[in-house]
Structure 1
Amino acid sequence: MIFIDLKFQEWQWQYQISTTFFVFVILPTLLWIYAKYITSSPNKYNKLEEPIKLVVPIPDEAKPHWKGKRLYPPNLTIRVPNEPNKIQSYCPATGQYLGTFSATSKEEMNQQIINAKKAQNSWKNSNFSLRRQVLKTLSRYILDNQQDIARIACRDSGKTKLDASMGEIMVTLEKLNWIIAHGERILRPSQRPGPSNLLIGMMKNGEVRYEPLGVVAALVSWNYPFHNLMGPIIAALFTGNAIIIKCSEQVIWSSKWFIDLVRVVLRSLKIDEDLVQLCCCYPEDADYFSSHPGLSHITFIGSKPVAHKVVESAAKELTPCVVELGGKDSLIVLDDIKDIKALSSVIMRGTFQSAGQNCIGIERVICLPKSYEKLVEIFSERVNQLRLGSDIDQLDEIDMGAMISDNRFKQLEALVEDAVSKGARLIHGGKPYQHPNYPQGHYFEPTLLVDVDSSMRIFQEEVFGPVLTMIKATDVDDAINLANGTEYGLGNSIFGSSFKQVNDIVNRLDSGNVAINDFATFYVAQLPFGGVKKSGYGKFGGEEGLLGLCVAKSVVMDKPLMRWFGVATSIPPPIDYPIKDDKKAWGFVSSLNTAGYDSRVWEVVKAFKKLAKGGA
């Protein structure tokens, strides 16, 4: 017993020494290695990649306590009477005038593409160190100026600062830093196995090299004016492309500032700022842009009706497109969910963020019976408490901002009325809201609609507004059928305690993206993003998003050992033109196939023997 105690004490003493050594020697060493080598990619360029400090003044309209003139109907519109080439900007939350801008003409589009191509001819040869420095400089500026960027996005879109921080700034920083860390590895030449033919495979190597496409375009929607614009720019620049962003007419005021920010970054690093251009026009001139022969690729983010026109125009020049359209995303709630209150918070955020104007927002909450009534009770209390307004102008606490315009209010009301007429219960909302301070602002009441079923239009049609729709499923199979029961297939979420059951459901859902026990984190995780069915095709984001902006150039070459010995491909005499002996030529080629692909050893031996005789 004494011996055991002594050994135990000795072991304890040794353990204490080891812990001290770990805390004061090993751990600091590991942290130093992580900081020096792992977080810098690659380390040899680290000093050259230091971000440049920028000073970019923000517009007066985004500063606190700004007092701008208000517009009232019929002047509360982006169209300027008798001036078809002018675009008027105003704040959708307050109706304040932001400025009038000239639409991009066809001649200007031509010149933008010429300038972009000229800049790209040099940029395509830039090294990854410089490309990372561009991204790091942009990332540092965003981190240091989050409040200003959020206020600019809010002023032009009507959303709250919190929604701008989460939906605009955080996801942009994630994309920047993910590409900084992993982009070069993804774009390195990809080594391939080469031919499976035994003879040819001994001689040849294969690889794929990823080269920039040239001048690419992104036609982006207004709901995330900062992130939707920045995301394509970040990917395009890192892959060595130039890019022209066609922004929505609804957010030209903020888009111009965001583009100017990127161009300041480029100028500060002595890079041609024509790499990044902004185009903004009305639909009547958009076809000219999307059918332009100078574009090598188009990313479109928007609605299905507009996508038809974009794809049709792009087809004239066979320009490849990635098309991300709307969704009718469902969130499935199983009966074994443990924390129903925490889940209700996720659903509230996923439904009402940016006033529901979110392509991967929660459009349908599909619940099994046990969870259904509990959630209805919670939402009946919580939705009624949401406060509307403009938090960059008000001192009050604000939960939800304005919608971009009021042009869909009648459609939203009609969807709610149709559902109620077919048996749904309207618990709260369902109509426009006249704000006491901003009566001209585009507000729609947070809406709770329960007992919805597949016979109602709101089950099938994208809402893109602040409507929480509750649907009761009889069992798991019914929930899956309901989730798959629309023409859309962008994203889904599933909440349940059994991972096996949840994982089985994932495999049965018709959608491009699924989050397990979470909402929309597939987008933040830099996975390839895109939908199926009428939600579009192609992917942006992640590895696939970067590679999609490149020409995949296939290269085959002699293996190093073959080059070292001076062995090169030659045409064997039996099959050299003109063919001298057809029978021998056939025997040679058929033996070559047998030797290269047959798995039977004796057949391979016989084939080699025949090859040695020249096919005879």
Structure 2
Amino acid sequence: MIAIDFSFRDWQWQYQISTTFFICVIVPTVYYIHAKYITKYPNNYNRLEEPIKLVVPIPQEAKPHWKGKRLHPPNLSIRIPNEPTKIQSYCPATGQLLGVFSVTSKEEMNQQIINGKRAQLQWKNSSFILRRKVLKTLSRYIIENQEDIARIACRDSGKTKLDASMGEIMVTLEKLNWIISHGERSLRPSQRPGPSNLLIGLMKNGEVRYEPLGVVAALVSWNYPFHNLLGPIIASIFTGNAIIVKCSEQVIWSSKWFVDLIRLVLKSLDIDEDLVQLCCCFPEDADYFTSHPGLSHITFIGSKPVAHKVVESAAKELTPCVVELGGKDSVIVLDDVKNFEALSSVILRGTFQSAGQNCIGIERVICLPKAYEKLVDIFTERLSDFRIGSDIDQLDEIDMGAMISDNRFQNFEELIEDAVSKGAKLIHGGKPYQHPNYPQGHYFEPTLLINVEPHMRIFQEEVFGPILTMIKATDIESAINLSNSTEYGLGNSVFGSNFTQLNNIANQLESGNVAINDFATFYVAQLPFGGIKKSGYGKFGGEEGLTGLCVAKSIVMDKPLLRWLGIATAIPPAIDYPIKDDKKAWRFVRSLNIAGYDNRVWEIIKAFEKLAKS
């Protein structure tokens, strides 16, 4: 017998599967179906969508044992003195130079938009078969080259390979394969009920058709250089748009390689490469791009202060925006959780993945009293074993990588100092970490802060770093109030054993996304993703993410039977111009409204009689 243990946080399902049954029944059945039906009668669409094979060399800087030039302060920066048109890219974990890149000039931005329009005019009429082939080719390449992609993302962001696999590769593969499976259905014309007017409804059909917008833009953050870049590209390709991605200047080295990979996929399928282009400039030069009249839509992923500038700039051309900002996401833990050890693993992953640089990372752990005591004890022990470093360079096991830069370290220390001065207790960490092998790296100690309360700055302000804060709630109502008491509203999680109770809590949380007995799986599930309050507005992901990149064109038409009979709607003589008798015209329209909208049978009958006389 094989024992398979499916552990779902607070409960465990255990199934016993007979090895003999599996080998003798399940495997032969699957093989028979595949051989008899799938292989014998292959789907023509599947054959046309078969992905092509790509071979793309990994950059030298991402290979094992790479020895690059190390930068030292004050040269450890993306800016080069007296070189305003150059961006210096370096590894934040080791300080090694990755390259120097030219910013995209205004003239180049203009040309990119012109090229994008040309490519989109061809692409907008492409078949879903071809669009799926692009996505399948990209998905196959990612699956077969996971370590290469992870190493590139790690080299430019400082994260660990495991963090890259979960936060970059898995979610990108999910988006690709969800759209491959469900994208066409999401973009089919949506049949609508049509007019509710009894008479008009008998004659007219209504539907909404989804057509591409044109050239769209995405301004994406640096914390997930692969996934944040590819997410908007995947959606724009499938919806028939061209896209120009403005990457963060912090990760231009990897962004260029990832965009070149997608352009290679397009070129290999004889599709205009300018369907996908990369733009990069410093923030102070971005207004020209975001206010460009050639853009039809902007997706922005980043911080609230920058969002104000992007939206203000886009408003000059009334360019619609989807704005996904930061959060102060909470986890509410009830006392009836059955397995606190398992739950602690979820919270640690949600807090320290990518060194806490995660828009839906766990920023506040709000616990009922029993849960609070248990988790504080567990975290106190587990955080003491955390290992920090660069796992693509070291042979040691590494739990947490570097941060993208050290420009927020002082703010972290100020937040911690403020909390401690007001009654919080620092259990672990709380300061920058100087790695013995990579002293130039941007590391901050994994930090545990307990007894945090709402009047402390760290309770209200987004940290975006490796700091786990523990808050004690007196009861469920106070836990909900604590969760809702910040200006943010991106995501939340709630853990316990009573699903009815958990579901009720989820309904009361003020956020765009909630996971019950799990962390952030709403994102993986390709549900519409976005926040409320100061966490932004609009959605990407899922069906809404696709239709949001389209013109929702409303179409009304005569019903098929009328078209078949050759009957067309016309203006009745009583209301045709020039009006011959305004009293008769008024009686006609009045009767039409009664016949169409009154719910009294006798009134409807009388109205039909008057219409007939007209």
TM-score range, shorter chain: over 0.9
**Structure-1 residue corresponding to 2:277:** 277
Q: CA deviation at 1:56?
A: 0.8
Task: Tell me which residue corresponds to 1:509.
Answer: 509
- Tell me the residue number matched to 1:304: 304
Mapping of residues 513-524 of structure 1, within 5 Å: 513-524=513-524
Who wins on radius of gyration, i.e. which is larger? 1
Deviation at 1:244? 0.4
Distance (Å, rounded) in 2 between the aligned partners of 1:35 and 1:385: 51
Hey, what's the Cα distance between the residues in 1 that align with 2:334 and 2:394?
Answer: 40
The correspondence of residues 200-599 of structure 1 with structure 2, limited to 5 A, is 200-599=200-599
What CA distance in whole angstroms lies between the structure 1 residues aligned with 2:564 and 2:352? 65
Residues 1:147 and 2:147 aligned together: yes
* Structure 1 residues 460 and 530, CA gap change in structure 2 (3 angstroms): same
Distance in 2 (CA, whole Å) between partners of 1:35 and 1:76 is 57
Query: 1:90 & 1:299 partners in 2: Cα distance?
Result: 26
Query: Given residue 546 of structure 2, which amino acid in structure 1 is its aligned partner?
Result: L
Q: In the alignment, what sits opposite 1:192?
A: 192
Match of 1:169 in 2: 169
Matched AA of 2:134: V
User: What aligned pairs does 1:9-28 form with structure 2 within 5 A after superposition?
Assistant: none
- The CA RMSD over aligned residues, in Å, is 1.8
d(CA) in 1 for partners of 2:36, 2:400: 45
Residues 137-165 of structure 1: CA distance to partner in whole angstroms, max 9, x if unpaired? 00000000000000000000000000000
Q: Structure 1 CA distance, aligned partners of 2:527 and 2:36?
A: 28
Match of 1:132 in 2: 132
Report the CA distance between 1:129 and its aligned residue. 0.1
Please give the per-residue CA displacement for 1:189-232, whole angstroms capped at 9, x wherever unaligned.
11111111111111111111000000000000000000000000
- Please give the per-residue CA displacement for 1:275-303, whole angstroms capped at 9, x wherever unaligned: 00000001121011000000000000000
Q: Using the alignment, how far apart are the partners of 2:325 and 2:233 within structure 1?
A: 19
* Cα displacement (A) at 1:529: 0.2
Are residues 202 and 323 of structure 1, via their aligned partners in 2, closer, same or farther at CA, if it must alter by over 3 Å? same
In structure 2, the partner of 1:104 is: 104
SS at match of 1:84: strand
Offset, 1:603: 1.0
For 1:98, give the aligned amino acid.
L
In the alignment, structure 2 segments of 5+ residues that lack a partner are 1-21
CA distance in 2, matches of 1:519, 1:37: 43
Secondary structure, in 3 states, of the residue corresponding to 1:360? coil
Q: 1:395 offset after TM fit, Å? A: 0.3
**Cα separation, 1, equivalents of 2:262 and 2:482:** 44
The code of the aligned residue for 1:54 comes to L
From the superposition, tell whether residues 477 and 33 of structure 1 become closer, same or farther in structure 2 (CA, over 3 Å): farther
Once the two structures are superposed, residues 552-587 of structure 1 have per-residue CA deviations (whole angstroms, 9 ceiling, x without a partner) of 000011111001111101111111111111111111
Using the alignment, how far apart are the partners of 2:37 and 2:167 within structure 1?
30
Partner of 1:14: none
For residues 510 and 423 of structure 2, what CA distance do their matches in structure 1 show? Answer: 28
The AA in structure 2 aligned to 1:388 is I
Cα distance in structure 1, aligned partners of 2:49 and 2:290: 35
Over residues 401-444 of structure 1, what are the superposed CA-to-partner deviations in whole Å (9 max), with x where a residue is unaligned? Answer: 00000000000000000000001000010000000000010000
Distance apart, 1:134 and its partner CA: 0.1
TM-aligned CA distance change 1:134 to 1:34, over 3 Å: farther
In the alignment, the residues of structure 2 paired with residue 250 and residue 495 of structure 1 have an alpha-carbon distance, to the nearest angstrom, of 36
Tell me the secondary structure at the aligned position of residue 251 of structure 2.
Answer: helix
Pair 1:79–1:22, CA change in 2 (3 A): closer
Alpha carbons of structure 1 residues 557 and 303: separation in structure 2 relative to 1, 3 Å: same
Secondary structure, counterpart of 1:95 in structure 2: coil
In structure 2, C-alpha distance between the alignment counterparts of 1:414 and 1:23, rounded to whole Å: 60
Could you tell me the TM-score, scaled by structure 2's length?
Answer: 0.95
Change (3 A) 1:27 1:228: closer
Cα 1:422–1:37, aligned 2, differ >3 Å: closer, same or farther?
farther
Return the letter of the residue paired with 1:580: K
The structure-2 alpha-carbon separation of the partners of 1:37 and 1:355, relative to structure 1 and needing over 3 Å to count, comes to farther
Which residue identity does 1:79 align to in structure 2?
R
Q: Report the equivalent of 1:58.
A: 58
Q: Secondary structure at the match of 2:98?
A: strand
Distance change in 2, residues 1:258/1:24 (3 Å): closer
State how far apart, in whole Å, the 1-side matches of 2:605 and 2:434 are. 87
**Deviation, structure 1 residue 604:** 1.1
Letter of the 2:275 counterpart: L
Task: Give distance in 1, aligned partners of 2:23 and 2:67.
Answer: 61
Identity of matched residues, %: 82
Structure 1 gap ranges (5+): 1-18
Deviation of 1:44 after TM superposition, in Å, equals: 3.9
Q: Could you say if the C-alpha distance between residues 26 and 400 of structure 1 is closer, same or farther in structure 2, counting changes exceeding 3 Å?
A: closer
Which string of whole-angstrom CA distances, capped at 9 and with x for unpartnered residues, describes residues 333-378 of structure 1?
0000000000000011000000000000000000000111111111
With structure 1 as the length reference, what TM-score do the two structures score?
Answer: 0.94
489 and 32 in structure 1: CA distance in 2 versus 1, 3 angstrom threshold: farther
Aligned partner letter, 1:249? E
Q: Partner residue of 2:9?
A: none
Displacement of 1:595 after TM fit?
1.1
Relative to structure 1, is the Cα distance of residues 601 and 511 closer, same or farther in structure 2, using a 3 angstrom cutoff? same
Helix, strand or coil for the counterpart of 2:319? coil
Query: CA-to-partner distance for each residue in 1:365-406, whole Å, 9 max, x for gaps?
Result: 000001111111111111111000000000000000000000
Deviations 1:10-69 (A, max 9, x none): xxxxxxxxx99986997666667996899x9xx441111000100111110000110001
Amino acid in the other structure paired with 1:521: T
Which residue is equivalent to 1:10? none
Counterpart of 1:610 in structure 2 is: 610
Distance change >3 Å, CA 33–CA 492, structure 1 → 2: farther
Match of 1:179 in 2: 179
Change (3 A) 1:194 1:59: same
Aligned partner letter, 2:516: I
2:269 partner amino acid: L
Structure 2 vs 1, CA of residues 383 and 34 (structure 1 numbering), >3 Å: closer, same or farther? farther
Code of the residue aligned with 1:252 in structure 2: it is I
Alpha-carbon distance in structure 1 between the residues aligned to 2:482 and 2:23: 58
Counterpart AA for 1:294 = G
Change (3 A) 1:342 1:36: farther
Over 3 Å counting, the alpha-carbon distance change for 1:36 and 1:335 in structure 2 is farther
